[in-house]
A = this chain, B = another copy of it.
Amino acid sequence: MRKLEVAFRPFDKVTRVPEGTTLFNAAHWIGLPIESTCGGRGTCGKCKVQVLAGEAEIAPADRRWFSEAELAEGWRLACEATIYADAECFVPALMRVPKAATMGLSRFVLLEPNVHKIHLVLPEPTLEDVRSDIERLREALDAEGYGLLTDLRALRHLPIALRSARWDVTAVLCGEHLVAVEAGDTTAVAYGVAVDVGTTTVVATLMDLTTGAAAAVASNLNGQAPFGADVISRIARTRMEETAAAELQRTVVETIDGLLAEVYAAAGVSSANVYEMVVAGNMTMLHLLLGVDAHAISVAPFIPAFREPLDLPAAALGVDIHPEGRIQILPSLGAYVGADIVAGIQATGLTREPELRLFVDVGTNGEIVLGNADRVLASAAPAGPTFEGGHVKHGMRAADGAIEGVVLDGAEVRLQVIGDVAPIGICGSGLIDAAAQLRLAELLDATGRLARREDVPDHPLAEHLIEQEGVRAFALTETIALTQRDIRELQSAKGAIATGIASLMELMGVTGDDLEQVLLAGSFGTYIDPQSARLLGLVPPVPVEKIVAAGNAAGEGAKMALLSFREREMAFGLSRRVEYVELSGRPGFNEAFLTAVGFPALEDVT
């Protein structure tokens, strides 16, 4: 698709965007704030720009805001001006500079939430002014630049709310949905909550929408865990038991409600002042949360019921925010590249920069995104449970007692253990460290075979080479060992991800040298030692300083979407910009996988 060049005056900022982009979005693309209160819906009339060069068709909304003379001079609403050719336009000085917050990977986010509170003193009805309550409210909001949909539930409360407040009210809008009509001026109080529904852990962050600051954060295990540790086993339960789908839904809603109670108590905030919830999560978690049948996600060809963003009333899920509040489910890209990854991409700004970056969320399912502002590919690699400690003899989750780091230094085995306790097992990052250190110590060859003690009798760590039930192993402690089978599992898991990365890089026609950055996301990714990941070939052989932990990118992305409708709309646009690659359908995938299970030659990665 040809890119068009758009120049903004007087800033002398130029951006290149796809055909069909609006001037409003093109400006946002380069972080140029254009005034708007309606969020680009053509209703507030604040995003006026003058088109100096290029096509500029007149949209119906333009007629409302401009005279014939102004239209002739090229004045248009930026949000309605879709461009099909190079363009140049003049942006008037901002009348109100929005607040901003730094979020995600040092992203500068303009504070423009989808939740709007507007204080209004409405004229009382008279026999000469018999507009209906909703029209009176709509016209007052319209004058302030806000659109208003009519929702039956809000309508039911409206007559009493307006009259008991003697027409001095604050209207609370989520987008164009009327959430509440509060008595007096309550614009100083507005909250929203960002929720990242992980298969294992659910995180809720209460955000103060007036400042952009996090008011409280809480996390807990997903209450669905007893139904199965991974997405496949949970979906399987919905097929085996008729009531399981409803129970899974109820359980995760309970988990969310528990977290909400926690953050409300911590921040001293009432649910009545929490107007919006933004939800990120993988596709299965979203299906189960919404009560949508998820079976087709679990079997080839792996089809979700939906991928698009969903804007739902809070009542649809019954979560404890304002009863008329809204829930925004972020969009997904594919059955195994969900809204958590979309949020992560948004948090990193990967699709906005010219530099090529690789984003990997390592877990049971490894999600891989490769790209820059020009092109973005995404895929998922079925890594299996190894990185979560599954199928590993002494494997465990990253909890107290888990070995999360390993250093082999001469004859010494130094372990980093979570919590102030004795080690009881090894978690994913420990496994990766251990294998990487064994490679460096030359006790593990490139095919993944562990040395036997008799082969390296003089090695300072020779004593640690043991045999357990006829299988080679490396003893980390008296009781905890890494077996040859564990290493094979690790090879298989990392091979899946490495193959996915290699496939996307091949498709994109790039090599490791082209990569500006490798981002390791997710709670697991954050703890992987970059050098170990590189040593094992989990990520391409880039300089180790280019491998960066991205933290809980999904949660950051959800928070950004909560604070900024522009960020949200860019996230919505990702499904059109990101090419989803189904790996299992690609020719040569199996062969590539068989290559990728091996480890890189040491000279290539040290």
Chain A interface (Cβ < 8 Å from any Cβ of B): 57-60, 63, 82, 84, 125-135, 150, 152, 155-160, 163, 290-296, 300-308, 310, 312, 316, 334-335, 580, 582, 584-585
User: Which single residue of chain B is at the shortest CB-CB distance from A62?
Assistant: B57
Bound-state Cα–Cα, A283 to B302, Å? 50
B303→A132 contact, CB < 8 A: yes
Copies in the complex: 2
List 13 A-B residue pairs with CB atoms under 8 Å apart, sorted by A's residue number.
A57-B57, A60-B82, A127-B582, A130-B301, A130-B582, A131-B303, A133-B305, A135-B307, A150-B310, A152-B290, A155-B306, A156-B292, A159-B296
Q: How far is the CA of A310 from the CA of B303 in the complex (A)?
A: 35
Question: Which residues of chain B come closer than 8 Å to A131, judged between CB atoms?
Answer: 303
What is the chain B residue whose CB lies nearest that of A302? B130
Could you say which residues of chain B place their CB within 8 Å of the CB of A306?
Answer: 132-135, 150, 155
A335 to chain B, nearest CB (A): 7
Chain B residues in 8 Å Cβ range of A291? 156
Task: Contacts A57-B57, A134-B308 known; list 12 others, CB within 8 Å.
Answer: A125-B303, A126-B301, A127-B301, A127-B582, A127-B584, A130-B582, A132-B306, A133-B296, A135-B306, A152-B290, A159-B293, A159-B303
Give, as a whole number of angstroms, the nearest-CB distance from A284 to chain B: 13
Q: In the complex the two chains form, what is the Cα distance from A582 to B291 in whole Å?
A: 50
- Quote the shortest CB–CB distance from A372 to chain B (angstroms): 24
A335/B303 in contact, CB under 8 A: no
Report the bound CA distance from A504 to B585 in whole Å.
73
| In contact, A130 and B580 (Cβ under 8 angstroms) | yes
Q: Which residues of B contact A84 (CB under 8 A)?
A: 63
Determine the distance from Cα of A307 to Cα of B290 in the docked complex, in whole angstroms: 33
Interfacial chain B residues near A585, Cβ < 8 Å: 126-128
Complex Cα distance, B584 from A302, in Å, reads 66
**Which single residue of chain B is at the shortest CB-CB distance from A312?**
B152
Q: Contact partner of A305 among B60, B159, B294, CB < 8 A?
A: B159
Q: Which residues of B contact A312 (CB under 8 A)?
A: 152
Please report the C-alpha to C-alpha distance between residue A454 and residue B455 in the assembled complex, in whole angstroms. 141
Q: List residues of chain B with CB within 8 A of the CB of A307.
A: 132, 135
What are the residues of chain B within 8 A of A302 when measuring CB–CB?
127, 130
Would A290 and B133 count as touching, CB distance under 8 A?
no
Min CB gap A202→B, angstroms: 20
| Contact status B163-A296, CB under 8 Å | yes
- A63: B residues at CB distance < 8 A: 84
Contact B127 A293 (CB under 8 A): no
Cα–Cα, bound, A58→B58 (Å): 8
Do A130 and B303 form a contact, CB below 8 Å, given A57-B57, A291-B156? yes
Given A60-B82, A125-B303, A310-B152: A335 in contact with B159 (beta carbons within 8 A):
no
Q: Which residue from B152, B160, B292, B308 sits with its C-beta under 8 Å from A159? A: B292
| B residues less than 8 Å from A300 (CB atoms) | 127
Chain B residue nearest to A586 in the complex (CB)? B127
Shortest Cβ distance from A309 into B: residue: B150
Chain B neighbourhood of A158, CB < 8 A = 292-293, 305
Give the CA-CA distance A132 to B584 in the complex, in Å.
17
Which residues of B lie under 8 Å from residue A82 when comparing CB positions? 60
A316 to chain B: closest CB distance in Å?
A: 6
Name the residue on B nearest A304 (C-beta).
B132
Known: A150-B308, A310-B150. A301 touches B159 (CB 8 A): no
Complex CA gap A334/B303 in Å reads: 50
Q: Which of chain B's residues have a CB closer than 8 A to the CB of A60?
A: 59, 82
Q: How far is the CA of A334 from the CA of B302 in the complex (A)?
A: 53
Max chain B C-beta neighbours (<10 A), residue from A84, A135, A310, A334: A135
How far is A156 from B249 in the complex, measured between Cα atoms in Å?
12
User: Chain B residues with Cβ under 8 A from A150's Cβ?
Assistant: 306, 308, 310
Q: A82-B60, A127-B582, A160-B293 given as contacts; is B133 within 8 A of A304 (CB)?
A: yes
Q: Which residue of B lies closest to A135 (CB)?
A: B307
